[in-house]
Amino acid sequence: MTMQKVVHPDEVYTERTTQSRAHMERARTVMPGGMTANIKHFAPYPITINRANGSKFYDVDGNEYIDYLMGYGALILGHAHPHVREAIVRQVEEDGTWLFGTPHDREVTMATRIQKHFPSMEQIRYANSGTEANLLAIRLAKAYTKKYKVAKFEGHYHGAIDSLLLSIHPSESAAGDQEDPQAVPDSGGMAPNASDDTLILPFNDIKSCTRILEQHKDDLAAVIIEPMEGGIIAPKQRFLQQLRKVTKKLGILLIFDEVKTAFRTSMDGVQGVYDVTPDLTTIGKVVGGGFPFGVVGGKAAIMEQSSPLSGTDIFAGEGGQSSQKALFHSGTYNGHPLILAAGIATLDVLEQEYDALVARTDNFREELTHLFQKHDIPMKTVGSGAMFSVLLTERQEINHYRDLQTCDHDSRKKLDKALFEAGVYTKPGNRYSLSVVHDNEALTKTLEAYDRVIPEVLR
């Protein structure tokens, strides 16, 4: 009997992506590792894309993929949506430029549109990324409370900020006790004292959170949290409400980082789903329409600290006439007219099509679950709205980062690599972000690809 040779997904991958490999070899001569963002890397080398439209994109070898990465969730309307494209062209034609460097009306228009869905954001400031938004939120919290420590949760990412780039992917040996996690740096180049002013909290454990917060209440300016961990792991029943109650009682500000979840988990974010009002909120990704964008909003009394009218502005030429300094926040590209035009156009479409998108996503998740059951492979999908992840696990519940570590990540990555040949793309191991242009044809093709690939890779 002749044994059929089992081909490893990496072998097929390298055969189909020779031009991507050649690109990375050239890129490494001018960029460290051949790229400018570490998150884009995966072994043996990432696919190089040169064209995209709708739900699909195409690599330099001519391969076509249904794209489920969607700019790490930013492209909820898909690639080059005509309404966004028209808004960008119209902005340039009407304004005669794509940058003023002065106040303009779209800043107010966009703020009003955001407040419609996030009423907790009583006043708003723009930034150029989720990372920048979180930097400002932390500064606002410290200035308002006159306290200078911050608490974050294990497994939660808030951007490449030294004081927050801690315990995102800690090893089991370094993470410490589950009820009292340790601060573990996630990058080289961080000062030895980078974690001195940051406490680490366990997600979905209100008892331990309360104990830690009570111990440090006199030093803590804020608790910052991804209210849905990683955009996919839901808070336990009433966890967010209890956290809100504890922080308010202790005089600690509560910051919701909804960069991933705003306009994906729901149009009103996680705070809308769970009816919790944070003191400050940061958003980004979707609301930028695929451009670099971040927003900070919250209670007027907190946000007013950033007003140049609240004290001496170091760049306002006031010559130190007041002893009070305004909290400094600025940026050449804050409130960029072209980006705001794209963001407003994105909200135009979402307000009409979001419910249908979520219905398709929910149905797609159900069909995926049935496929894995058919092949007798343990799997569950976790997430909400138009974003979820596929986890290869027998666990009934996934409550936090440490539960995620028990999943079979290696097999998931092999599965994703095998799906490339079938024309289905997300970065290996990453979550799925659907868009309004992922139609039934694309979803059916994806399910058929899974049906073929699962027995080849996971047996």
Q: How far apart are CA 93 and CA 309, in angstroms?
A: 34
Residue type, 71: G
Q: Residue 425's closest CA among 34, 79, 32?
A: 79
Task: Quickly tell me which residue has 């907190």 as its tokens.
Answer: 302
Active site residue 257: yes
Q: How far apart are CA 69 and CA 66, in angstroms?
A: 9
Q: How far apart are CA 250 and CA 63, in angstroms?
A: 56
Among the options 157, 274, 425, 432, which is catalytic?
A: 157
Among the options 142, 149, 152, 285, which is catalytic?
A: 285
Q: How far apart are CA 205 and CA 406, in angstroms?
A: 19
Q: How far apart are CA 428 and CA 46, in angstroms?
A: 10
Active site residue 285: yes
Q: Is 27 left (phi over 0), alpha (psi -120 to 50) or beta?
A: alpha
Q: How far apart are CA 266 and CA 17, in angstroms?
A: 37
Task: Tell me the C-alpha to C-alpha distance, in Å, between residue 310 and each of 145, 307, 372, 377.
Answer: 16, 5, 58, 60
Both tokens assigned to 4: 């059929």
Among the options 257, 279, 403, 416, which is catalytic?
A: 257
Active site residue 186: no
Q: How many residues does the chain have?
A: 459
CB count within 10 Å of CB 381 equals 19
Name the residues annotated as catalytic. Answer: 157, 257, 285
